[in-house]
Structure 1
Amino acid sequence: MTSLVTTAWLADHLDDPQVVLLDASFKLPGATPTAPEEFAERHIPTAQFFDVDKVADAGNPLPHMMPSEAEFARTVGALGISNETMVVIYDTPGLMSAGRAWWMFRSFGHRNLAILDGGLRTWMAEGRPVTAEVVARPAASYQARLDPAAIASKADVLANIDSKARDLVDARSAARFTAAEKEARPGLRAGHVPGSLNVPFDRMTDPETGKMRAPAEIAQVFRDAGLDMERPVIASCGSGVTACALAFGLHLAGKDDVAVYDGSWAEWGMPGDTPVATGQ
């Protein structure tokens, strides 16, 4: 089972009843048009929208935190997805938020799962069709079983500063990591978790096409940043979305001992006693 499918493969399987296509595009708060608005205007035929802001723990004040097993099962079942369904996920730029949906499915035990290489960007560049029509699928029964090892908490990250048991990799831009640029979310401090490494999420893809780099190239990107590919990893970012792009890149490179810090900088950067470093 491959974790990455081509646009040609998807075009051949759009009408396969065993394949469900999800658009998991996401934009930061305040960006317009919103991802749901863009989906309503045009998306790949048969796609349904997977809203990472809404498939979330509504009771948590942090943005789009992991939902409960029951809530995830209810949501994906309503999309016509069973545990046997082949799920293909894409986003608009190639790999920005598709990794978040992929990681959520993986964390809840789904393995028949892939990301569309190059996303909507490549699909449209090749002149393939898009539509505004949404075709609902019959609801399905879904069972979700969360793997707790997939998620790292603030307490885990705090403990790791001293233990250094895992490498912590931050997917934000270098300017945000070093605090040269302020955080977009109001009230957050700027900087990074002490001891963390910086691998901006867009390093996983070719900037010209949005397609994934080769697994060996991805592994080298992490090594160049100081990551030991033999050690377990915690991936972090601004709010738990692009960290999952790193998790997907590491997966393609053959590394799955990766947890995502779900709260990420939206939690760590709040005023308080969590330590913050600046500079490189």
Structure 2
Amino acid sequence: MSFLISAEDLAARLGRPNLRIIDGSWSLDGRDGRADFEQAHVPGAVFFDLDAVSNAASPLPHMMPSPAAFAAAAGALGVAAADQIVVYDTAGLFSAARVWWMFRTMGARDVRVLDGGLPLWRSQGRPLERGAATPRSASFQVDPVPGAVAELSDVRAAVGQGVQIVDARGAARFEGLAPEPRPGVRSGHMPGALNLPYGQLLNPDGTMKRGAALAQAFAGIGLDLDRPVITTCGSGVTAAMLTLGLAELGRPSRLYDGSWSEWGAREDTPVQTD
């Protein structure tokens, strides 16, 4: 099964009783995703706030919350683990992959990402709604997937053991040529990491590459699809784009939740620039 769904297929499913549509829009520049949602969203959608549904005790941005906290947040949005879930964002393909990964990691089995997101949906003249969502609550039964989340210790071990680490940030940040957007975070990357900016997984229309073209995006940076992979980025959002792409190819991966926001801010983690 593909983890992507076309606008045409989603439009044909609108109104089904077990379909749950989630707007997972988030942007690094602080744009108010909820305000955009209330201006225009796919009919029946609810808004998922990445910053609010996070570990409030962590100093790192939008870290995965506890299973109980996630279940409460998902249930409040009217989403159950057994539902057919479709996630999209207003950028096209960006933060929706992170929400997809969170729901999958917490035990939802039928979760897909709208290929091309809201921009492609709009361009095809498909229906939109305005206003805040008022969902009926549901019960989300969590069943966390073991090993889906990579912790700092896992990445330390990966660096030492040669496990493949793939970074979704842009080349300038990866190579230490551009400053990090968060204060106190060093520039550069984990020793031995590979760089695959998430945009290289996309077609010109904002949809994700498929098949041989998608596989070549990973192979072109020297990644061996038959070996273990940890994905990373600035704060764990676009790393999920790499995880989604690998999943489309039938390849598992682990996502480093703390990503560079954690690694680059520490004084006891090695940093490479080149």
**TM-score by shorter chain over 0.5:** yes
Matched-pair contact (CA < 8 Å) for 1:216–1:253: no
The partner residue of 1:127 within 113, 122, 125 is: 125
User: What is aligned with 1:65?
Assistant: 63
After the TM superposition, which of the residue ranges 142-151 and 82-91 deviates more from structure 2?
142-151
The partner residue of 1:141 within 139, 142, 162 is: 139
3-state SS, counterpart of residue 248 of structure 1: helix
Residue identity matched to 1:218: L
Superposed, which structure 2 residues align to 1:102-181 within 5 Å?
A: 102-164=100-162, 166-181=163-178
Matched-pair contact (CA < 8 Å) for 2:47–2:133: no
Matched-pair contact (CA < 8 Å) for 2:37–2:131: no
- Cα offset, 1:135, TM superposition: 3.8
User: What is aligned with 1:274?
Assistant: 269
Residue 41, structure 1, aligned to residue 12, structure 2:
no
Separation (CA, whole Å) in 1 of partners of 2:118 and 2:210: 20
User: What is aligned with 2:237?
Assistant: 241
User: What is aligned with 1:82?
Assistant: 80
Separation (CA, whole Å) in 1 of partners of 2:211 and 2:90: 22
Identity over the aligned pairs, expressed in percent? 46
User: What is aligned with 1:190?
Assistant: 187
Separation (CA, whole Å) in 2 of partners of 1:220 and 1:265: 25
Residue 251, structure 1, aligned to residue 247, structure 2:
yes
Q: Deviations over 1:74-114 (max 9, x none)?
A: 11111111221100000112211111011111111211111
Superposed, which structure 2 residues align to 1:84-103 within 5 Å?
A: 84-103=82-101
Superposed, which structure 2 residues align to 1:256-267 within 5 Å?
A: 256=252, 258-267=253-262
Structure 2: 5+ residue stretches without partners = none
- Cα offset, 1:127, TM superposition: 1.6
Residue identity matched to 1:173: G
Separation (CA, whole Å) in 2 of partners of 1:215 and 1:50: 30
- Cα offset, 1:271, TM superposition: 4.2
User: What is aligned with 1:210?
Assistant: 206
Separation (CA, whole Å) in 2 of partners of 1:70 and 1:89: 21
- Cα offset, 1:236, TM superposition: 0.3
3-state SS, counterpart of residue 149 of structure 1: coil
Separation (CA, whole Å) in 1 of partners of 2:91 and 2:61: 21
Matched-pair contact (CA < 8 Å) for 2:88–2:117: yes
Separation (CA, whole Å) in 2 of partners of 1:144 and 1:66: 13
After the TM superposition, which of the residue ranges 127-136 and 234-243 deviates more from structure 2?
127-136
- Cα offset, 1:161, TM superposition: 1.3
Structure 1: 5+ residue stretches without partners = none
- Cα offset, 1:131, TM superposition: 2.2
After the TM superposition, which of the residue ranges 102-111 and 191-200 deviates more from structure 2?
102-111
The partner residue of 1:55 within 53, 56, 65 is: 53
Separation (CA, whole Å) in 2 of partners of 1:36 and 1:187: 29
The partner residue of 2:216 within 190, 195, 220 is: 220
Residue 5, structure 1, aligned to residue 10, structure 2:
no
Query: Runs in 1 of length 4+ with deviation above 4 angstroms?
Result: none
Residue identity matched to 1:9: D
3-state SS, counterpart of residue 191 of structure 1: coil
- Cα offset, 1:2, TM superposition: 3.5
- Cα offset, 1:41, TM superposition: 1.5
Separation (CA, whole Å) in 1 of partners of 2:10 and 2:104: 20
- The root-mean-square deviation of aligned C-alpha atoms, in Å, is 1.2
Separation (CA, whole Å) in 1 of partners of 2:172 and 2:53: 30
Separation (CA, whole Å) in 2 of partners of 1:250 and 1:12: 27
